[in-house]
Chain A
């Protein structure tokens, strides 16, 4: 109930209520619908889109929520956990998550499955057929897309899935809508007997805004009646259901025409903008009342008549959307000329500055300089509204004594930009990361290493540079089998260097979709090594539990999946477990695994150093009198080792005590330097 407590923290702030009340009729309407009166006061809270989705599911009476962690969707389930009485689970993968949610929906309980965009690829199989069966109680599938690939391997536009599977899709444009549209999605799901997709993007999921909370409906339970004609998709039944799907699509198209979430905001009619999701916010911000807006919350099916009407009343018509011309193509298909991807990029995140550049080029906005981004008057003399007196000019980089602040006024305005080169700061494996030792050894063995999805994907970067491929969850094992088979085809059962390819996969990813790959390796006796980097968590997404940690989403102990027993049960005869902090043992284990015929599994087991209690107490230092500055330790890419005056030093406070650098050093120049004082 942590969430409730946080909400309560804002409840006393009466002024906050004034904010959204002053925001026009549209917001007022939405707010009024969701209003929850607690002692006569509206409750408002700052919520991320993900938190708002969880709240929306709770308010709508969802009884079940399932997910596999994946950025930017992960926090939805973590927030759902705050609500008592809702069954929540980390599923082994998204396909299972959707199947569990679907089972519950058919049984009569509102259910939600959440996943990142590529997770829906995994869950696509049940999705396309639940589109035929329909549901009983509502079923909402959250697809959190990642334009710009902040933390993903591709930036697919999952709105296409909704059209492809012929199910409705709703796109919230902020946290308030994210919460409200979950309830709407459940209602649509039950009314039209269809799963509904709620599609967010990173800037909706991970942006926070003020949310007016609604009253929870309380749990709903619809009766379940056995109905094989509807739920058993043998061809004879499925043929009939497909007819229902097409009839439903027509009914949904009609519904979309009058859907309250599809709204027009009239300003200047010289320019019309059609947008959905965060793209609407960018357009509204940049263009202000220079344009009228058709803001679509339901983007499948699109409201064709409504769009036609808007187009008829506005001059030049633009579709502003991120990634694919999803709306644009549909609008063109109904014979309306719109401008979209001719000007806007197909790749990467859309941003306000891209929209501004395009709209200036189009003459919709005046050229830069005359315009006032962010309220600046454009004269170059704009001053931020802060106490304007300059303090001590400390000079470049010079702080005042005793932590005082120096304000450095700059007289030569516009004289120089940041022309200096800014070195990149790529994400790196943490100091003490147990993956580092494994990658160091792998690189030394000079074999093909097929990679997978997780923190350990960072092993691709310099200086470890240890990976050959990374495609999708679980692909490392199939890829390695393919490398081995390609070698076999050429008459050598190993990769080009005469070594077995090594599939590198994390514990959570292995459970997600590595197991079937391993079975293939055994079945077809592929000459590969599967190196499971078992750090006892799903680290990259923020340390979620999974079947092999033996702890559930609610923190309850459960039967732990044993990776070694599983590997043996699959038929792997050579299974070794090693501590990746011990480089010599890791190298020995990998060499042995490469020498045995057929598939072998090595489990490098050591808890993620960020987990509580995982950090060793020892701290290391470089003895400068023994150090020859050979830089061998720098080959580990440890962020705790810096170069100062051309010599490596271990930064006190950064060392996590793994001792791997001490093992690497050939001059015994790295030694324990006491224990951490923390």
Chain B
């Protein structure tokens, strides 16, 4: 079983659709009868900075943020961000990481180096790592911009059957922009199916 409550850290770069992804997850969990808290950061961090959303699901959730070392899942929309937020993962946590590198400005300017072998670092300490090419999945589903939904699909499979298919389906309809429910559901399903 996952922890009670279950803690999911969703991380990436400003503009990648992380807020929508976290609301999709929260909406589905509420539909499944869970208490939910999620914590976002707005403002300056959204200007291409590192963005993190904490999502917690359970019978009763107190803290809206995850204790360092206690996240059951890290869903990273970008590889470097997975590494940055890794201290939040508990031993044995699952890291779902989009196979995408967005170099930050210090790397672009040559002041710092984008690290190699991130997946290996992520897997240290008994963590499970799922590397996902979410853009390709989403493009196959009809729109590369649904990569965020595809990644939540990957997570959904691992969260198990407590949140049922129709909960996810209704959540997708509720949170995605009007007219994109179908392509988002296809992307979600691709993520779910690809979760191995």
> Are the CB atoms of B125 and A410 closer together than 8 Å?
yes
In the bound complex, do residue B33 and residue A18 qualify as a contact, i.e. CB atoms below 8 Å apart? yes
Q: Would B47 and A375 count as touching, CB distance under 8 A?
A: no
- Contact (A210, B30) CB under 8 Å given A416-B124, A427-B44, A639-B108: yes
**A203 engages B39 (CB within 8 Å):** yes
> In the complex, which residues 386-409 of chain A have their Cβ closer than 8 Å to any Cβ of chain B?
386-387, 389-392, 394-400, 402-409
Please encode chain A, from 349 to 381, with 1 for each CB lying within 8 Å of some chain B CB and 0 for all others: 001110010000000000000000111100011
A429 within 8 A of B: yes
CB distance from B70 to the nearest CB of A (A): 3
Q: Is there contact, CB below 8 Å, between B3 and A426? A: no
Tell me if A478 counts as interface (CB < 8 A to partner B).
no
B-binding residues in A (CB < 8 A): 6, 9-10, 13, 15-16, 18-20, 22-23, 44, 46, 48, 71-72, 74-75, 150-151, 174, 202-203, 206-210, 278, 281-282, 284-286, 351-353, 356, 373-376, 380-387, 389-392, 394-400, 402-410, 412-430, 455, 458, 461-463, 540-542, 634, 637, 639, 641-643
Which residues on the B side are within 8 Å of A285 (C-beta)? 62-63, 67
Question: Are B137's CB and A403's CB within 8 A?
Answer: yes
Q: Which residues of chain B are near A46, meaning CB under 8 Å?
A: 23, 26-27, 30, 36, 38
Q: How far is the CA of A20 from the CA of B36 in the complex (A)?
A: 11
27 A-B residue pairs with Cβ-Cβ distance under 8 Å, sorted by A, are A13-B30, A72-B42, A203-B64, A208-B26, A208-B36, A210-B30, A278-B63, A352-B65, A352-B67, A374-B72, A380-B92, A381-B92, A391-B196, A399-B131, A402-B136, A403-B190, A405-B132, A410-B127, A413-B91, A413-B125, A413-B126, A417-B125, A418-B83, A427-B14, A637-B109, A639-B108, A643-B110
- Contacts A405-B154, A410-B127, A421-B112 given; indicate if A282 touches B63 (C-beta within 8 A): yes
Contacts of B4 in A (CB 8 A): 375
A462 touches B109 (CB 8 A): yes
Whether B7 lies near A396 (C-beta < 8 A) is no
User: Beyond A397-B99, A425-B13, is A418–B67 a contact (Cβ under 8 Å)?
Assistant: no
A410 to B95, CA, bound (A): 12
A425–B84 contact, CB under 8 A?
yes
What separation, in Å, do the CA atoms of A399 and B96 have in the docked complex? 12
Check if B62 sits within 8 Å of A284, measured CB to CB.
Answer: yes
Chain A residues in 8 Å Cβ range of B107: 423
Identify whether the interface residues of A are mostly helix, strand, loop, or mixed: loop
Contact in complex: A428, B60 (CB < 8 Å): no
Task: Give the chain B neighbours of A400 by CB distance below 8 A.
Answer: 131, 133, 194
B181 to chain A, nearest CB (A): 13
B37 touches A430 (CB 8 A): no
Hey, which chain A residues are within 8 Å of B87, CB to CB? Answer: 418
Instruction: Give A514 to B178 CA distance when docked, in angstroms.
Output: 40
Assembly CA distance A634 to B106 (angstroms):
11
Chain A: CB-nearest residue to B63: A285
In the assembled complex, the Cα of A392 lies from the Cα of B40 at a distance in Å of: 34
- List B contacts of A392 (CB < 8 A): 196
The complex places the Cα of A385 from the Cα of B154 at a distance, in Å, of 14
- Docked CA distance A424–B109 (Å): 12
Which residues does chain A contribute within 8 Å of B190, judged by CB atoms? 403
Residues of B within 8 A of A286 (CB): 63, 67
Residues in chain A near residue B160, CB distance under 8 A: 385-386
4 further interface pairs, Cβ-Cβ under 8 Å (given A373-B70, A422-B84): A374-B71, A385-B1, A413-B124, A421-B113
**Residue contact B174 to A9, C-beta cutoff 8 Å:** yes
Q: Is A374 touching B44 in the complex (CB atoms < 8 A)?
A: no
Docked-complex contact A405 and B47, CB < 8 angstroms: no
Which residues from chain B contact A75 at a C-beta distance below 8 Å? 42
Within 8 A of A (CB), among B57-102: 59-73, 79-81, 83-84, 86-87, 90-94, 99
Return the chain A residue nearest B136 by Cβ: A403
Q: Are B94 and A384 in contact (CB under 8 A)?
A: yes
Distance in angstroms from A585 CB to nearest chain B CB is 26
Q: Does B117 make an interface contact (CB < 8 A)?
A: yes
- Chain A residues lying within 8 Å of B50, measured Cβ to Cβ, are 425
Closest CB of chain B to A46's CB: distance in Å? Answer: 6
Q: How far is the CB of A390 from chain B (nearest CB, A)?
A: 8
Contact status A418-B86, CB under 8 Å: yes
Query: Smallest CB–CB gap between B144 and chain A, Å?
Result: 9
Contact call B131/A420, Cβ cutoff below 8 A: no
Contact call A20/B35, Cβ cutoff below 8 A? yes
The CA of A18 and the CA of B109, in the complex, are separated in Å by 54
Query: Cβ of A430 and Cβ of B125 under 8 Å apart?
Result: no
Q: Is the CB of B131 within 8 A of A463?
A: no
Name the A residues within 8 Å of B23 (CB-CB).
Answer: 46, 208
Q: Kindly state whether residue B121 has any CB partner on chain A within 8 Å.
A: yes
Q: A405-B131, A418-B124, A427-B49 are in contact. Are A210 and B35 (CB under 8 A)?
A: yes
Q: A209-B36, A384-B2 are in contact. Are A16 and B43 (CB under 8 A)?
A: no
